[in-house]
A and B are shown apart, each in its own frame.
Chain A
């Protein structure tokens, strides 16, 4: 069972370039999330999705876009990379059960450096 997978593991972008961070899960989870973690900080929610075709903004959505065409995949798009987007990006998923105690399962992260 692969769980939550993310690609790439590491990427260097030039300012103004675009890229897509890939996230996939094989646990048939309805809920998926994208977080960013800046150095010395906790995780901040960028976008999340409660099911295919449904996405919602989190705390820090500016500069990012997402889509959810399948249950398994939840890609994060950066259109015009900026140095402020240098961070580690985590994808997570959770079951469909609408309960407080449902934990989130995290991918290994993608380290992005924008120069």
Chain B
């Protein structure tokens, strides 16, 4: 079974609008961490934001925020005030357990920002 599911292969958003990228996960471990990475066309992977399963509040980092709904096992990335430079692939990833274990990645969502 897929551990991380990203159901949107591609998304379009108008510049300056907000967009939500979906991520659902599957784990029976009560302790886990969720990550979002951005991959621009240049290919590098850029860390955006992290949410821990025991965190009381939704994570925020600048224009990025995470809509964490634990009961629904979803960790959607919200990008506010989209910019042309936000056009990229976005990957959701999860780590289970309590330590620095390897990440499992979803298939990604391609976001295109339109002027």
Q: C-beta contact mask, B62-100 vs A, less than 8 Å → 1, else 0?
A: 000000000000000000000000000001010101111
Chain A residues with Cβ under 8 A from B108's Cβ? 40-42
Number of interface residues of A (CB under 8 A): 30
- A41's nearest neighbour on chain B, judged by CB, is B107
The size bracket of the interface on B is 20 to 34
Interface residues in chain B, defined as those with a beta carbon under 8 Å from any beta carbon in chain A: 4, 9, 31-33, 35, 37, 42-47, 50, 52, 91, 93, 95, 97-100, 102-108
23 contacts between A and B (CB under 8 A): A31-B100, A40-B108, A41-B107, A42-B4, A42-B91, A43-B91, A43-B103, A45-B103, A48-B102, A58-B102, A92-B45, A94-B100, A97-B100, A98-B100, A100-B52, A100-B97, A100-B99, A104-B45, A104-B47, A104-B103, A105-B47, A108-B42, A109-B43
